[in-house]
A and B are shown apart, each in its own frame.
Chain A
Amino acid sequence: MRLLTLRGLRLLVLAVFAVFFVAPMLWLLLAPTKADNALVTSNPFAFGSFHQIVLAWNHLDGFSSHIYRRWIENSLLYAVSATLIVLATAIPAGYGLAFGTFRGRKAILTLTLVVMIMPAAALVLPIFLELNALKLIGSVFSVILPFAFYPFGVYIAYIYYSTTMPRDVLDAARIDGCGEWTTFRRIALPLAKPVIALVLFFSFVADWNNFFLPYAVLAKSSQYPIQVGLSNLLSSTPSFNPAVGGGGQQVNIFRPELALATLIAVVPVLLVFMLSQRSLVRGLLGGGVKQ
């Protein structure tokens, strides 16, 4: 009996939190199916019509001569190229830090940790000045290169290798005549699949959602990633900005358009999540080597 009430209570708590996490998403999913005034008058979770979605998309796409598409493309370019560099540098680095014996290993590890726990935004200003000195401000590299530095990725690769990969396996490979590089490629890399998925996911999401750095280093709105673009869109809508007034009528950006813009901006992250979900759900330390 007591066990039963405990179980009921547990389920209730879980359900309440599920509502908290899911209801806003559900609302967002349904908002573009309705006209702006219907959002106010109809049930928040009622479905409108598919026709409205098309209408909202046409308004959104028409905004500032297709700039919305441009923002999504920019974000993809920045996040994908930066994440590829992160994977190519962070996984080997984590491996080297876990099993290497070179001088300065501790120092690199400590510095990585220090930079990792450092508020990244505190570094945006000096990074801006640095890029400015290199005359990179306003170029795509001013976003991609800083994004490509992802100490968190190095750290999880390091944790993964040092906790789940027995030294004996590597030693065995070396005894069998594998060189450093072959050992890494044949043994360490295939075993690291879960951690590669994790780094890929976290790095992509961090880049996709980053607002401050591109906001500071990019000047032209045609170069904005979607996050900065969304804030641009927000300031052009009369729904939250009555001052825009007549301008809102001209640009046709109201709440349904804004909701659609937000929704589309989330799709790539969801896709990457699906891709790496198995590793994510299994957790960091599940795979690799069974003891």
Chain B
Amino acid sequence: MLTPAAQVTRQRGLPAGRARRKRGLGSGRGVGFVVPYLPFLVAFGILPMIYALTLAFTSHKGKFIGLKNFTQAGNDFRFGPSFEHVFLYTAVWLGTLIVFVVGLALVLHGRAGRASSTFRFLYYIPGALAGAASVLVWLFMLDPGVSPGTFLLHLFGSHLFVESIAPGHLPFIFAMIAFWTGAGGWIVVLHGALNTIPQDLEEAARIDGAGPLNIALRLKLPMIRKWIAYMVILSFATGTQLFVEPQLVNQASLGMVPDTWSSNQLAYQLAFRYGKFNEAAAISVDLLLIGLIAAVIIVTRTGLFRRED
């Protein structure tokens, strides 16, 4: 029951609101809120992107030279292996991420509150250790001399630290480190997404006789598809950026692992050691293209950014 006063404001309010919205369309409402963000978007997002593109297609004197930088960088003997390493790493990392993060999030969501939040917290803790710190921890873990998992290392046939970080193992090791630090955060995010599924929907499914497994796979999984796609895109982007991990392993391996192990390291070395900024930019553009193509595929396949109003 509305008070008379409320009724009056209501009557007055509705048409006024409509009129305002109409006027707002023309005058550009809300632009002021976006303005402070724009200089940053331009300076550290758009300009560098254009700059990278320009550099990649010009000589060091600024002359347009087509794809020459790309072919030159591509012909570098370190180019192929570095991209191979990164692809293998990204594939392993995305695979484990999708299977285990989604799996664990679903399993945890079925559990009672207290236990579930404890597990989420435990899984999340290593998230504090991304970057150099996480690599250091795993250098210890991979050193059979001090590792608590020595028996596991022996199982994989490594008795010395240098055997643990043999170049062939590295894509898997880096994927494991990335999973160790990143999985918990995504489990939290997916759990949040799962929480938005209306309870009545789940109850209805249960009344219809669906077991927990069926509810997880047929009801919950499709409803968090967007978030999974989102996770894959962002992880793909970070995956191709691999830099600090091989850089530190290079330092710890007495150069057995080259300092151009990943494509990003190669770009860095080309730019800062050899002064070949244009070729380095070409590699950056290669990475951008790969990221963009992957993103477009994922976005169009899942309808990630369709706006739901």
Neighbouring B residues of A97 by C-beta, 8 Å: 34
Residue of B nearest to A147 (CB): B44
| Interface-located stretch among B77-85, B201-209, B264-272 | B264-272
Q: A-side interface residues toward B, CB under 8 Å?
A: 6, 10, 13-14, 17-18, 20-25, 27-28, 31, 39-40, 44-45, 85, 88-90, 92-93, 95-97, 99-103, 105, 108, 111-123, 125-130, 145-146, 148-149, 151-152, 154, 162-163, 171-172, 174-175, 180-181, 184, 205, 209-212, 216, 227-228, 230-231, 234-235, 240-243, 255, 258-259, 262, 265-266, 269-270, 273, 280-286
Contact B49 A14 (CB under 8 A): no
Contact of B244 (CB < 8 Å), options: A6, A99, A103, A227: A227
* Among A99, A262, A282: residue with most chain B CB under 10 A: A262
Is there a chain A Cβ closer than 8 Å to B302's Cβ? no
Contact A283 B191 (CB under 8 A): yes
Check A283/B30 contact, CB under 8 A, given A125-B284, A126-B51, A241-B251. no
A27–B235 alpha-carbon span in the complex (Å): 28
Neighbouring B residues of A269 by C-beta, 8 Å: 127-129
> Secondary structure of the A side of the interface?
helix
A272–B301 alpha-carbon span in the complex (Å): 36
Q: B-side interface residues toward A, CB under 8 Å?
A: 9, 13, 16-17, 20-21, 24-25, 28-34, 36-38, 40-41, 43-49, 51-52, 55, 100, 104, 107-108, 110-111, 117, 119-133, 136-141, 143, 145-149, 161, 180, 183-184, 188-189, 191-196, 212-213, 233-234, 237-238, 240-241, 243-244, 247-248, 251-252, 254, 264, 267-268, 271-272, 277, 280-281, 284-285, 287-288, 291-292, 295, 305, 307-309
Check A111/B136 contact, CB under 8 A, given A89-B37, A284-B193. no
Contact of A286 (CB < 8 Å), options: B124, B192, B284, B305: B192
Check A118/B189 contact, CB under 8 A, given A92-B37, A125-B271, A262-B137. no
